[in-house]
Amino acid sequence: MQCQECGKRPATLHYTKIINGEKTQFHLCEVCAQEKGEQIPGLETGFSIHHLLSGLLNLDSQAPDDQPPEMAARQKGLRCPTCGLTYNQFSKIGRFGCSDCYRAFGDRLDPLFRRVHGNTAHRGKVPQRTGGQLKIRREVERLQSELSRRIQNEEFEEAARLRDRIRALQEKLEG
């Protein structure tokens, strides 16, 4: 069943509201339910990390000198083309809908990453099978810092060997 509010995402919250004896049935997705301010069991219990995050994001958008208001308004209207999550919804929920949200919201997310992680760029592991090019570039970077260390220590034989390996890897990247 689709969500009756957005008609796009699957409905995961089903409930009946009785107001003045009148029953109304609701079938909503998590995102629209949160927007409507409905309580989702479990999500609302205690102190949620997602609330804390949305606090950080909203703090960002409230900063008056941050950027011209018309630009902020445009970013509020940002929407992930793949899953349909808007930036506005993301800033309320504090969770992404799919991996394309990262691209859709782009640099707008960096202040958040800086606050949470102190960084904006990944330096860790790279997938073995699909990470090919990036893996080689990381290896080149590693060898280059090793190379300058060897040169400083005047270990020229080892440095020459490293230089050759770097060259071979760089050719592989270009070829």
Residue ranges that bind other proteins, judged by CB under 8 A: 9-10, 12, 29-31, 41-43, 49-50, 53, 82-83, 85, 94-99, 102-103, 109, 112-113, 116-131, 134
- Cβ 160 to other proteins, closest distance in Å? 28
Q: How far is the CB of 164 from other proteins (least distance, A)?
A: 26
Query: Dihedral sign, CA of 48, 50, 53, 59?
Result: negative
Q: Which helix (H) or strand (E) holds 163?
A: helix 156-174
- Report residue 74 as tokens: 């445009």
Residue 109: name the closest of 158, 69, 60, 146 by CA.
Answer: 60
Tell the smallest beta-carbon distance from residue 46 to other proteins (Å): 9
Among residues 3, 1, 2, the alpha carbon closest in space to that of 28 is found at: 3
**CA–CA gap between residue 98 and residue 69 (Å, rounded):** 28
> Shortest distance, CB of residue 157 to other proteins, whole angstroms?
28
What are the angstrom distances between the C-alpha of 18 and each of 5, 28, 138? 19, 17, 60
Pick the closer one to other proteins by CB: 14 or 161: 14
Nearer CB in complex with other proteins: 82/170: 82
Q: Which is nearer to other proteins, 4 or 153 (CB)?
A: 4
For other proteins, the closer of residues 110 and 155 by Cβ is 110
